[in-house]
Amino acid sequence: MPHSVPILKNDWVTHNVRRFRLEKPPGYKFEPGQATDVAIDEEGWRERTRPFTFTSLNDWDELEFTIKIYPERHAVTERLAGLEPGARVLIDDPWGTIQYAGPGTFIAGGAGITPFIAIFRSLAAQGALAGNTLIFSNRTERDIILREEFEAMADLERLWVLTDEPAPGLPFGRIDAEFLRRHVSDPGGRFYVCGTDEMVGDVRAILEAMGARADSVTFER
């Protein structure tokens, strides 16, 4: 049964991504990388659920979601962006298959970074980030979500990739077969992939063609 909880804070992370802090229901638990279905607790919006990933950790006093806003769609995220603290949303039980299973290469496209935020925060708190690499693709440099936080994680290897607007010192282009052959040194390792369905399908196919085992590639099913 959904929980109705108030928004405590709603602010910008980038030009089109907002961070929402919510009251945490008593006893509510989830694993880093999991998501839940969220709806605005208002007439006409309660049935319009959308999946969003937790970017907080279980030991936090509040829930956090980091959500890309699409004003051009005139839909749920636009309405969410305009909600003030005190407005209420509905959250359901946690679900999701993107959970940490050991060091590997994380490949994210745009808002697909969100399952990895809580995973990296959890690993950082444990001092267990070593051996992990993040490859994060965005359209432009200003689209990179939580760049400063990731760059402060000293044991996390990072590669920012841009597809629409070049920037000095950053790779430019798609994460395609040529790119992955150049930047993945161990195709037999573990991989975590999140982005659009098309991106995830393409990257999985390329990795498996390079020699990755199907069961070593984690993605949202």
For residue range 21-31, list pLDDT tens digits in order: 999 999 999 99
Look at residue 172 in the predicted model and tell me its pLDDT: 97
Residue among 135, 148, 144 nearest 104 (CA):
135
For 82, the token pair is 């305009």
Its pTM stands at 0.96
Look at residue 97 in the predicted model and tell me its pLDDT: 83
97 in a structural domain? no
Domain of 191, in residue numbers: 105-218
Residue among 158, 74, 156 nearest 120 (CA):
156
The model's pLDDT over 35-78, given as tens digits with 9 standing for 90+, comes to 999 999 999 999 999 999 999 999 999 999 999 999 888 899 99
100 in a structural domain? no
Cα distance between residue 218 and residue 101, in whole Å: 9
The reply to whether 133 and 211 lie within a common domain is yes
CATH of the domain at 45: 2.40.30.10
